């Protein structure tokens, strides 16, 4: 990865649920459309629950968007999943981590280290373009909190 274009996003949300519940909810990849803005995810290789499994997220509206393909590089239920972004547009790493808090609550942390796409155009656009991206992820994490706390995922999703 080109260090000069590497960017980091770190966002988190506190959820009134156990680490197991939060982990199982975020790692039920095919259910992410319930809370991740403009994204649907599919498992393309493996079981989606082990190192080497491949998942892909379509981000966009209708036919306009892109595939963000990922390989799971670390799986430590119920605490952490690391992925390597392998797509044409998104390159880098991502971490989804759950930390236990007092009172049965959890902190869900979403971190991304990625290389800006589109070369110089991406670097020039980042100072402005990051705000819609951050807003979308924040909105998605707020929705995730609501979905988990409401028990709105199918019980079969919570393994």
Return d(Cα 42, Cα 32) in angstroms, integer. 9
Return d(Cα 109, Cα 80) in angstroms, integer. 9
What the chain holds in terms of domains, given with CATH numbers, is 3-25+71-150 (3.30.530.20)
The per-residue pLDDT string of the chain (159 residues; one tens digit each, 9 = 90 and over) reads: 444 577 889 999 999 999 999 999 999 999 999 999 999 999 999 999 999 999 999 998 888 999 999 999 999 999 999 999 999 888 999 999 999 999 999 999 999 998 877 777 777 777 888 888 889 999 999 999 999 999 886 544 444
For the entire predicted model, the pTM comes to: 0.88
Q: List 99's β-bridge partners, or say none.
A: 107
Identify whether 78 is preceded by a cis peptide bond (ω within 30 of 0).
Answer: yes
Angle at 157 between CA 69 and CA 64, to 5 degrees: 35
Phi, psi torsion values for 43, nearest 5 degrees? -90, 125
């Amino acid at each position: 990865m080109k260090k000069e274009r590497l960017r980091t996003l770190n966002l988190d949300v506190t959820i009134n649920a156990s680490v197991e519940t939060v982990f199982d909810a975020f790692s039920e990849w095919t259910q992410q459309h319930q809370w991740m803005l403009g994204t649907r995810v599919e498992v393309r290789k493996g079981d989606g629950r082990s190192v080497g499994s491949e998942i892909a997220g379509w981000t966009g509206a209708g036919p306009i968007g892109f595939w963000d393909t990922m390989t799971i590089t670390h799986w430590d239920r119920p605490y952490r999943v690391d992925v390597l972004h392998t797509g044409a547009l998104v390159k880098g790493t991502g971490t989804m981590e759950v930390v236990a808090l007092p009172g049965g609550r959890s902190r869900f942390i979403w971190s991304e280290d990625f290389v800006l796409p589109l070369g110089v155009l991406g670097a020039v656009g980042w100072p402005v373009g990051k705000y819609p991206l951050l807003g979308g992820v924040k909105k998605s994490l707020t929705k995730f909190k609501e979905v988990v706390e409401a028990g709105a995922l199918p019980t079969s999703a919570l393994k």
